[in-house]
């Protein structure tokens, strides 16, 4: 007897190896996948402008980066300055300092895209906030008055038109870059559950349309895995909207099956085994046995790095 729907994404023609560089951008769910990739020694350039949720917001920072825009719209709150295109985690004590930070991150983003094999884009919501004075979508409202913004559900057509153009620009500037889309399974309950479902439906239609029209684009069904297969609140955090560690690990296993070949899987397992040994907290840290265990694991790590110099080993 089956007690859940079983859904296993098909293996992808896109395969990743540890020498590949990856850029990840989007919602907080994209950070979870970035952390998993970095944890097994991939080089990941993740959310340089903080977590962003709307396709227009993501498009704005990518366009500004690849076209070397020097325009930085900012807002001051108390003694801090924030960028309208970035999350609140990016701030400065002066407008000029903020400008320097944003321009540097744009430069780093463009360089990372030129080196990357894969750009992972995770859309979170189709509800957007347009600043009335700037007359464009912002990435974050920075606790400004609601009356300064217009909230609306973006149409599939408008998002598709703008992203089709951006994908063409990315293809021209970075011809070897592949793009992997996903829709965040995190529910935006503040919008309302009905409104959240409207939003997710548009995002799903958007990404499938983009993938169908662009052969360098792919789709990873993180949303379907959580909503349709793991449809139980034991897979959610206490807020009942964010997937918990069980769900994240389950999605990660599905990701590996889709995008890692046998050799990459084997190398990943070796990395995780060595890291687990090094991170293990012994009950007897000063014992000879523990010292020997650590020395053996470090020797295995050093041999692994010698044989695989592209690994981006980050100690926990």
Q: 226: number of CA atoms within 13 Å, CB side?
A: 28
Predicted confidence (pLDDT) at residue 316 exceeds the cutoff of 80: no
Query: What is the mean predicted confidence (pLDDT) over 221-244?
Result: 94
Span 147-162, pLDDT tens digits: 999 999 999 999 999 9
Question: Residue 266, exposed/middle/buried by CB under 10 A (0-12, 13-18, 19+)?
Answer: exposed
Q: What is the pLDDT of residue 314?
A: 85
Q: Write out the two tokens for 10.
A: 């098909």
1 pLDDT above the threshold of 80: no
User: Is the pLDDT score of 289 beyond 90?
Assistant: no
User: What's the CATH code, domain 21-260?
Assistant: 3.40.50.1110
Q: What percent of the chain has pLDDT over 70?
A: 99
What pLDDT was estimated at residue 257?
95
175 close to 94: Cβ distance less than 8 angstroms = no
- The average pLDDT across 24-51 equals 93
- Tens of pLDDT, residue by residue over 223-234, are 999 999 999 999
Half-sphere exposure of 110 (CA within 13 A, CB side): 14
Query: What gap in Å lies between CA 76 and CA 97, rounded to an integer?
Result: 12
Residue 131, pLDDT score? 95
Residue 276 confidence (pLDDT) above 60: yes
Residue 285 is predicted with a pLDDT of: 82
Mean pLDDT of 183-212: 96
Predicted confidence (pLDDT) at residue 262 exceeds the cutoff of 90: yes
Whether 2 has a pLDDT exceeding 90, the answer reads: no
pLDDT confidence bin for 180, thresholds 50/70/90: very high
């Amino acid at each position: 007897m089956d007690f859940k729907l079983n859904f296993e994404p098909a293996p992808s023609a896109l395969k990743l190896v540890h020498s590949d560089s990856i850029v990840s951008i989007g919602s907080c769910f994209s950070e979870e996948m970035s952390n998993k990739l970095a944890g097994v020694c991939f080089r990941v350039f993740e959310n340089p402008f903080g977590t962003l949720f709307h396709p227009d917001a993501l498009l704005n920072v990518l366009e500004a980066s690849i076209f070397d825009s020097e325009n930085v719209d900012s807002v001051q709150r108390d003694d801090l300055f924030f960028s309208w295109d970035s999350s609140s985690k990016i701030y400065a004590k002066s407008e000029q300092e903020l400008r320097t930070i944003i321009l540097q991150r744009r430069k780093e983003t463009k360089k990372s895209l030129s080196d990357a094999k894969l750009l992972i884009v995770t859309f979170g919501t189709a509800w957007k906030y347009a600043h009335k004075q700037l007359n464009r979508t912002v990435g974050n409202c920075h606790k400004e008055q609601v009356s300064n913004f217009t909230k609306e559900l973006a149409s599939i057509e408008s998002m598709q038109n703008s992203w089709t153009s951006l994908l063409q620009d990315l293809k021209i500037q970075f011809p070897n870059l592949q793009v992997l889309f996903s829709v965040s399974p995190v529910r935006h309950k503040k919008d309302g559950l009905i409104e959240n479902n409207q939003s997710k439906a548009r995002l799903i239609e958007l990404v499938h349309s983009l993938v169908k029209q662009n052969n360098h684009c792919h789709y990873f069904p993180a949303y379907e895995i959580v909503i349709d297969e793991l449809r139980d609140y034991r897979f959610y955090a206490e807020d009942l909207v964010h997937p918990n560690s069980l769900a994240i690990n389950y999605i990660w296993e599905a990701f590996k099956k889709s995008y890692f070949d046998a050799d990459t899987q084997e190398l990943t397992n070796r990395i995780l085994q060595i890291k687990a040994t090094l991170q293990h907290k012994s009950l007897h840290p000063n014992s000879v046995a523990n010292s020997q265990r650590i020395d053996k694991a470090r020797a295995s790590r050093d041999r692994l790095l010698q044989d695989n110099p592209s690994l981006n080993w980050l100690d926990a």
